[in-house]
């Protein structure tokens, strides 16, 4: 059976079906239609096309019931955001195998790709691993990686990982069933962890170095909610930016005009970022030219 959501989850279950290694007994997901990343309808269309029972669950008890009804030999999990109980995992003879957006044991826990890009990783990837009672610490079945360019945004990295996920499932899924692949333990001494991200994690602190802020912007851009700050009582999301070539002295967070008329924000290390794509409140588009220089971002109360 497949348990999960989001576009990577859809690519995952598509590859499971295409491999022909086993019939998919059930698809289990949750209602995430308020999330910009949702593929809720597409997942249900896939289930209907291939005549696979699809169940929407809420809570551990409902998931346990869904697994008990499906009686799977193996469960693949991708795009699931809570721990799965030992009671549910015990119902599948071959266990539960998860897909995690990091090169485990690094970045165990929540939002691994976001945290990796925020910390300047130049290589990220995916891991298939056995789910346990611990946090992403089970034996590894497979990993795949991709390089990250210094100016790359999370959306393009995520697209490559989604394609890599499909390839990995096509290769690994049949080998699990024919017993030609065995998992290997993780090296727990190399583990790092990431906490669950909340809206507050997206707030920009302009006192930080410019490079750190730029990484935070790139790591939280589309399809994620975006890094944000306060502007004259409004919420300003910075979707895209790039570093200004020269030092720029002033107050951290101060909006200034560059030599070509571009709008810059001064950062804590006297570097500046050029605002390329922003959004104020819920407006569809707000060019940086509409901003007023001399305002200090983040200092005023947000509406």
Is the pLDDT confidence value at 303 over 60? Answer: no
Is the pLDDT confidence value at 26 over 80? Answer: yes
Closest by CA position to 102, among listed 157, 153, 162, 145: 145
Per-residue pLDDT band at 301 (split at 50, 70, 90): very low
Mean pLDDT of the chain: 94
d(CA 25, CA 220): 36
Is the pLDDT confidence value at 5 over 70? Answer: yes
pLDDT at 77 (0 to 100) = 98
pLDDT at 287 (0 to 100) = 67
Domain locations in the chain? 2-194, 200-290
pLDDT at 49 (0 to 100) = 97
Condensed to tens digits (0 to 9), the pLDDT of residues 37-80 reads 999 999 999 999 999 999 999 999 999 999 999 999 999 999 99
Q: What is the CATH superfamily name and number for domain 200-290?
A: Formyl transferase, C-terminal domain (3.10.25.10)
Is the pLDDT confidence value at 131 over 80? Answer: yes
- Give every strand in the sheet of 123-130, ordered side by side: 54-56, 27-29, 2-4, 75-78, 96-100, 123-130, 140-147
CA angle 284, 233, 286 (to 5 degrees): 20
Choose between 219 and 295: higher pLDDT.
219
Choose between 29 and 286: higher pLDDT.
29
CATH match for 2-194 among 3.40.190.10, 3.40.50.10320, 3.30.465.10, 3.40.50.170: 3.40.50.170
């Amino acid at each position: 059976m497949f348990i999960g959501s989001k576009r990577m989850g859809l690519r995952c279950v598509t590859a499971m079906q295409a491999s022909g290694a086993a019939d998919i007994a059930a698809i289990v997901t949750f209602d995430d239609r308020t999330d910009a990343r949702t593929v809720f309808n597409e997942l249900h269309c896939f289930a209907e096309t291939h005549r696979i029972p699809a169940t929407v669950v809420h809570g551990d008890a409902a998931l346990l019931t869904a697994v008990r009804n499906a009686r799977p030999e193996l469960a693949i999990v991708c795009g699931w955001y809570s721990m799965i109980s030992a009671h549910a995992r015990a119902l599948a003879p071959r266990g539960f195998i998860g897909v995690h957006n990091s090169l485990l044991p690094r970045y165990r826990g929540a939002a691994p790709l976001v945290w990796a890009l925020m910390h300047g990783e130049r290589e990220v990837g995916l891991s298939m691993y056995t789910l346990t009672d611990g946090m992403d610490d089970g034996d590894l079945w497979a990993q795949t990686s991709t390089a990250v360019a210094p100016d790359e945004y999370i959306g393009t990295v995520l697209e490559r990982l989604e394609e890599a996920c499909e390839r990995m499932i096509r290769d690994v899924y049949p080998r699990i069933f024919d017993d030609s692949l065995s998992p290997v333990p993780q090296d727990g001494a190399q583990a790092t962890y990431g906490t669950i991200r909340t809206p507050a994690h997206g707030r920009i602190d302009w006192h930080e170095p410019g490079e750190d802020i730029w990484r935070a912007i790139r790591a939280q851009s589309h399809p994620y909610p975006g890094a944000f700050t306060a502007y004259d009582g409004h919420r300003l999301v910075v979707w895209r930016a790039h570093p200004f070539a020269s030092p720029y002295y002033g107050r951290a967070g101060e909006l200034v005009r560059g030599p070509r008329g571009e709008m810059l924000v001064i950062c804590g290390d006297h570097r500046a970022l050029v605002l390329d794509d922003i959004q104020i409140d819920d407006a569809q588009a707000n060019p940086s030219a509409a901003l007023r220089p001399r305002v200090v971002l983040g200092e005023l109360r947000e509406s």
